[in-house]
Structure 1
Amino acid sequence: MNYRRIGFTQGDGFSMDMIMLGTGGGFSKKYYNNNALINLNGYRLLIDCGSTAHRSLHELGLSWEKDVDGVIVTHIHADHVGGLEEIALDGKFKYGKKIDLFAAEQLLPLLWENSLKGGVGDDDNGRLEDFFRVTPLPTDSVFRIGGMEMSFHRTQHVPGKLSYGLTIGPLFYSSDSRFDERLLLSLPSDIRYILHDCSMTSSDFHASLEELLSLPAEVQQKIWLMHYTDNLQEYEDAGRLGKLNVLRQHRLYQWPAEP
């Protein structure tokens, strides 16, 4: 597997690594859905589980039932939750297994009513709790998963729909967000990595490359692009990414860095 080391530590002996199951936008044909599998001291957490997540896990020689302990959901678009139906149904009727499901407290009813209920609900199973070990998370305070401090940040993605970015230790994960310069410039000083969605052209729902390139150079250097469009390579080849970095599909990013 292809490794890229990016260093940080949080406390003695803490370790974290991340495999990007996909790095593409919602309609990407090349890079799969923008989902990540992170390992927090042995606790294996999916950040979102989109429609291509299971195919990607299979290609990596992994599977949700053996290699995933929990899923945290940032919002309910299909490229972020479309794979949860398979976990729910196979877990219930094939493996007899529930995994942890984490989401903002306000998002959980919407996840059931507007996404999963139609596919997995029946007369005997009418709640998320029938399929998952559900943990509502606060949006106004820090919480811990796998020993790592995390917090939600409300993001502006689609008007009228809830969506959240995540702070994970010294890393900010935007999930899906329009450009929010105020948020990016107000992140705590110990945030050293910003994993941000990026459309190569202007977008009503995502930060654009032009907008991210308007940030100061010292902020650009912290940014790792994800959820990008399929024509990313054209911009790379033309040297049009400034000081921005690019996250790659199926590459393992590992913390802490070796000396």
Structure 2
Amino acid sequence: MLKFLGIGSAFNTTLGNTSAFIKKHCSILLIDCGSTVFSRLQKLGLLSDVSYLYIAITHTHPDHIGSLGELIFYSHYALNCKPRIFFPDAHLLSSILDNMGVNAEFYEILSSPQIKISDEFLSSADLTFIPSSHVERIPSYSILIKCENHSIFYSGDSNKISDSILNSLENGYIDILYQDTCSLDYTGNPHLYIGKLIEYVKPSLRSKICCMHLDQNFERIYAIQSGFNVAEVIKDL
């Protein structure tokens, strides 16, 4: 399953910006690259032997792409590696990177909503980008990942879980669901309040859901007592 470099919300710097990865030998699939992510990759030595770098982006808020430019520069100058970036709106992401001063020749963006990774070490991984309910100003996506006989749903930042996703979870088409979960309940909340998560999900399915993107006041024990899992930040390799 996924390993996490950070599990915090934008302001929860103690837990780091939420970002997950799958690594096999010299290939790595990274989900989001917020402001704290590049430093975490360096601290853990995750990039030292990387030859193939794939980056899936859920949306363009700073806590999800804040150090993407640094990672691309490092890939070019230190790793001699050209990252392949997956995001449905290539024009939006490339314009942001251009304004960061990142040379477009240093990376490749694949903007199809359905991506198939064929990699010597990651084997075959299929990614499907699904529009999520987050904010109106920018496009946001959840990602369905099928890899090594596992099916993973990664919500990105989202204040809802659709009935179709819950049905897929219940019927075994999705093995685990990583869900943006917060402690705050207010009108227009772009994240999913833990109380609503409890309302949405029947007790028998809660063990298949892992909470992430946690704010400072999130009560881990309450989520666990309610039957959910909570993502853990990887400490070392």
Give TM-score, length-normalised by structure 2. Answer: 0.83
User: In 2, Cα distance between the equivalents of 1:40 and 1:65?
Assistant: 11
User: In 2, Cα distance between the equivalents of 1:31 and 1:152?
Assistant: 26
Which residue of structure 1 lines up, in the alignment, with residue 185 of structure 2?
202
Give TM-score, length-normalised by structure 1. Answer: 0.76
For 1:42-53, what aligned pairs fall within 5 Å after superposition? 43-53=27-37
The C-alpha deviation readout for 1:139-186, integer Å capped at 9, x for no partner, is 2x5634540222121101101421111111221110111123434324
User: In 2, Cα distance between the equivalents of 1:63 and 1:41?
Assistant: 11
Structure 1 residue 65 displacement after superposition: 7.2
| Residue 161 of structure 2 is aligned to residue 180 of structure 1 | yes
Which residue of structure 1 lines up, in the alignment, with residue 116 of structure 2?
143
For 1:156-235, what aligned pairs fall within 5 Å after superposition? 156-169=133-146, 170-187=151-168, 189=171, 190-202=173-185, 204-214=189-199, 215-232=201-218, 235=219
Contact 2:26 2:51 in 1 (8 A): no
Instruction: Return 5+ residue gaps in structure 1 as ranges.
Output: 1-16, 254-259
Which residue of structure 2 lines up, in the alignment, with residue 110 of structure 1?
92
User: In 2, Cα distance between the equivalents of 1:202 and 1:77?
Assistant: 21
Structure 1 residue 87 displacement after superposition: 2.2
For 1:1-259, what aligned pairs fall within 5 Å after superposition? 17-39=1-23, 43-63=27-47, 66=50, 69-93=53-77, 96-104=80-88, 107-113=89-95, 115-121=96-102, 125=103, 128=104, 130-137=105-112, 139=113, 141=114, 143-144=116-117, 146=122, 147-169=124-146, 170-187=151-168, 189=171, 190-202=173-185, 204-214=189-199, 215-232=201-218, 235-237=219-221, 241-250=225-234
User: In 2, Cα distance between the equivalents of 1:158 and 1:47?
Assistant: 19
Contact 1:23 1:228 in 2 (8 A): yes
For the residue of structure 2 that corresponds to 1:152, the secondary structure is strand
Count of residue pairs brought into register by the alignment: 224
Change (3 A) 1:71 1:25: same
Identity in percent: 25
Structure 1 residue 210 displacement after superposition: 0.4
Change (3 A) 1:181 1:99: closer
User: In 2, Cα distance between the equivalents of 1:40 and 1:91?
Assistant: 17
